Chains A and B, each alone.
Chain A
Amino acid sequence: MNSSLGVERMSTNEVAEKLKASTVGIAGLGGLGSNVAMALARSGIGRLIIVDFDEVERSNLNRQAYEVEQVGQRKTEALMYNIEKANPDIDVTAVCQKLEPGMMHFPFEDVDIVVEALDSAETKAAFIEEILLKLPDKPVVAASGVAGIGKSENINIHTSGNLFLIEDKDAPSSDDGILLAPRVGLFAYWQANLVLQILTEGMDVY
């Protein structure tokens, strides 16, 4: 392209093409991951690799993108079905396995962006560390401090190299605080929005 402005305004089609050609990996399909996946599917991301070993429980339904009928199903299968219903054009690869230290990066070797959507702080830290070390070129979009009600204005983004952390530093741990759809959803949708931003970097889209 030859523009004196330096940046070409991209048409909606070009953005759609870019997103369709992209692959995003999501580690954990709880309140963060299931909602990130649905948002990215609706946005037309070409391929999603979704990873979780767990099954849908009744207590998940207050914040996770599953339905009553799906209780007892594997999250990978249930989410694949829900994605298909929202947007049948998405290529979904479901990986039903626990992420074991030393091998956590395996499902994400071919993705453009890794989304950290895990539950316990310990697993989050181990996963982020391993991806940054083993797949140093991949952007990692993570979240921390999702528990609680209100205080939306405390949520912020911390960027450190390839790590993009959506966080509320003062939030309680989920052991001490309640997990509900609106606040967890804010983090999930911020993560998804950031994924789109990174994928369309350099394109003049607002």
Chain B
Amino acid sequence: MSIKVNTNPIDWVEGESITQLLKRMNYTFPLVVVKIDGQVIPKAKYSETIVPDDSIIEVIHLISGG
């Protein structure tokens, strides 16, 4: 019963949405791109997308400057 977030194994929480997972991980919501098992999840769907058990989550964090 675990998932991987950026290669780190963490506990899977049943029914947890991406919004809740990002909060648990202390990620700043508008500054990231999220993939679940390689699939990009649009920001508009973060609160309705439930993280499945055993999934591999990638949170790509962007920093300002250009």
Residues of B within 8 A of A160 (CB): 35, 58, 60
**Chain B interface mostly:** mixed
Chain B 53-64 interface mask (CB, 8 Å, partner A; 1/0): 000001011111
CB proximity to A under 8 Å, residues B15-58: 30-33, 35, 38, 40, 42-43, 58
Interface segment out of the listed A87-95, A106-114, A122-130: A122-130
CA distance A182 to B61 in the complex (A): 23
Residues of B within 8 A of A184 (CB): 65-66
Shortest CB–CB separation between residue B28 and chain A, in angstroms? 8
Whether a CB of chain B sits under 8 angstroms from the CB of A169 is yes
- Count residues of chain A with CB under 8 A from any CB of chain B: 40
Contact B64 A173 (CB under 8 A): yes
Residues of A within 8 A of B33 (CB): 125, 128-129, 132, 163
A-B contacts, CB under 8 A, total: 85
Contact A133 B43 (CB under 8 A): no
**Interface size range of chain B in the complex:** 10 to 19
Contact A126 B43 (CB under 8 A): yes
Contact B64 A174 (CB under 8 A): yes
Cβ contact of B40, chosen from A28, A31, A132, A167, cutoff 8 A: A132
Chain A 11-39 interface mask (CB, 8 Å, partner B; 1/0): 00000000000000000101111000000
Please, which residue of chain B has its CB at the minimum distance from the CB of A129? B33
Contact B42 A28 (CB under 8 A): no
CA distance A145 to B60 in the complex (A): 12
Contact B60 A120 (CB under 8 A): no
Whether a CB of chain B sits under 8 angstroms from the CB of A96 is no
Residues of B within 8 A of A126 (CB): 30, 43
Residues of A within 8 A of B62 (CB): 121-122, 124-125, 128, 142, 144
Whether a CB of chain B sits under 8 angstroms from the CB of A146 is yes
CA distance A93 to B65 in the complex (A): 25
Contact A125 B65 (CB under 8 A): no
Residues of A within 8 A of B64 (CB): 119-121, 124, 147, 173-175
CB within 8 Å of B: which residues of A? 28, 30-33, 117-122, 124-126, 128-129, 132-133, 142-147, 158, 160-161, 163, 165, 167-169, 171-175, 177, 179, 184
